[in-house]
Amino acid sequence: MSFKAKTILLLILLSLVPYVVTMAFLGNAYRNDVENRLMEDMGHQLGITIDRLDQSLQALQNDIEFIASLDIMNDVLTGDLDRRIVNLLLLKKDDLALDGDFDVVDGSGLVVASTALDSIGSPFNGESFMQVPLFSTFNNDNIGALRVRYEMSNLTRYFANDGNFRYALLVSGERYPAQMQIADTLSVSGVIGLRPEIGIIFEQNRDFAFAVLDSFTRSFLIALAIGTLIISAIAFLAASYILRPILLLSSTARSIYKTHDYSQRVRVDRSDEIGNLASAFNAMIQGMQDLIARLKEEGENRLKLAQEKNRAETLQTLSNKLSKYLSPQIYESIFSGEKDVKLGSSRKKLTIFFSDIVNFTGTTDQMESEDLTALLNQYLREMTDIALRYGATVDKYIGDAIMIFFGDPHSRGVEEDALMCVEMSLSMQRRVRELQREWRAAGYTKPFVIRVGIHTGYCTVGNFGTESRMDYTIVGSAVNLASRIENTAEPGTVYISEDTYLLVREKFASLPVNKVTPKGISQPVQLYKVLMEEAAEGVQTLSQDGFQLQYQPELLTAESREQLRLVLEKITRESSP
Partner 1 sequence: MRIVLLLLSIALVSVAEAAEYAVVVARNSPIEALDSERLRDIFLRRRSFEGGIPLVPINLLGEEAVRTQFESLVLQMDRGQINQYWVTSHFQGIKPPATQASLQSIKTFIERVDGAIGYLPISMVDDGLKVLHEF
Contact positions vs partner 1 (CB under 8 A): 71, 74-75, 77-79, 81-82, 84, 136-139
- Cβ-contact 394, 327 below 8 angstroms: yes
Shortest Å distance, C-beta 137 to partner 1: 6
Report the distance separating Cα 317 and Cα 225, nearest Å: 86
Spatial distance between the Cα atoms of 87 and 79, rounded to a whole number of angstroms: 14
Query: Which of these, 119, 84, 83, lies nearest to 101 by C-alpha position?
Result: 119
CB of 144 to partner 1, least distance (A): 13
The nearest distance, CB 70 to partner 1, in angstroms, is: 11
Task: Report CA torsion sign: 164, 170, 173, 176.
Answer: negative
Q: Which residues 6+ apart lie within 8 Å of 190 measured at CB? A: 46, 47, 50, 199, 200
Q: Closest approach of Cβ 87 to partner 1, in Å? A: 10
Min dist. Cβ of residue 81 to partner 1 (A): 4
**Contact yes or no for 63/96 (Cβ under 8 A):** yes
Question: How far is the C-alpha of 236 from the C-alpha of 242, rounded, in Å?
Answer: 10
The residue (of 107 and 275) whose beta carbon lies closer to partner 1 is 107
Q: Are 341 and 334 in contact (CB under 8 A)?
A: yes
Give the nearer residue to partner 1 in terms of CB position, either 91 or 556. Answer: 91
CB-nearer residue toward partner 1: 135 or 360: 135
- Which helix (H) or strand (E) covers residue 202, if one does? strand 198-205
Nearer of residues 74 and 548 to partner 1, judged by Cβ: 74
CB of 105 to partner 1, least distance (A): 16
User: Cβ contacts of residue 61 below 8 Å, gap of 6+?
Assistant: 130, 132, 194
List, in order, residues 6 or more apart from 502 with CB less than 8 Å away: none
Give min distance, CB of 109 to partner 1, in A: 17
Question: Closest Cα partner for 150 from 198, 186, 191, 98?
Answer: 98
How far is the C-alpha of 234 from the C-alpha of 456, rounded, in Å? 108
Least Å distance between CB 122 and partner 1? 20
Considering beta carbons, is residue 79 or 193 the nearer one to partner 1? 79
Whether residue 31 contacts residue 210, with contact meaning beta carbons closer than 8 Å, is answered with: yes
Q: Which is nearer to partner 1, 78 or 259 (CB)?
A: 78
Identify the three-state secondary structure at position 198: strand
Supply the minimum distance, in Å, between the C-beta of residue 112 and partner 1. Answer: 12
Question: How many other CB atoms are found less than 10 A from the CB of residue 81?
Answer: 9
Cβ proximity to partner 1, 80 vs 395, nearer residue: 80
Of residues 78 and 377, the one with the C-beta less far from partner 1: 78
Q: Are 135 and 141 in contact (CB under 8 A)?
A: yes
Helix (H, G, I), strand (E, B) or coil at 309: helix
CA distance 343 to 504: 34
Query: Which residues are 131's β-sheet partners?
Result: 147
- From 323, 527, 530, select the one nearest 424 (Cα to Cα): 530
HSE at residue 231, side-chain half, CA atoms within 13 A, is 20
| Nearer to partner 1 among residue 60 and residue 143 (C-beta) | 143
* C-beta of 75 vs 103, nearer to partner 1: 75
Q: Is residue 515 within 8 Å of residue 525, measured between CB atoms?
A: yes
Of 72 and 525, nearer to partner 1 (C-beta) is 72
Complex with partner 1: residue 87 or 307, whichever CB lies closer: 87
Cis peptide before 177, with omega less than 30 degrees from 0?
yes
Nearer to partner 1, 135 or 262 (CB): 135
CB of 143 to partner 1, least distance (A): 9
In the complex, the smallest distance separating the C-beta of residue 82 from partner 1, rounded to whole angstroms, is: 4
According to DSSP, residue 293 is labeled: H
**In the complex, what is the shortest distance from the CB of residue 141 to partner 1, in angstroms, rounded to a whole number?**
9
Q: What minimum distance in Å lies between the beta carbon of 111 and partner 1? A: 17
Tell me how crowded residue 466 is: count the other CB atoms within 10 A of its CB.
8
Q: Which of 439, 426, 438, 437 is nearest to 535 (CA)?
A: 426
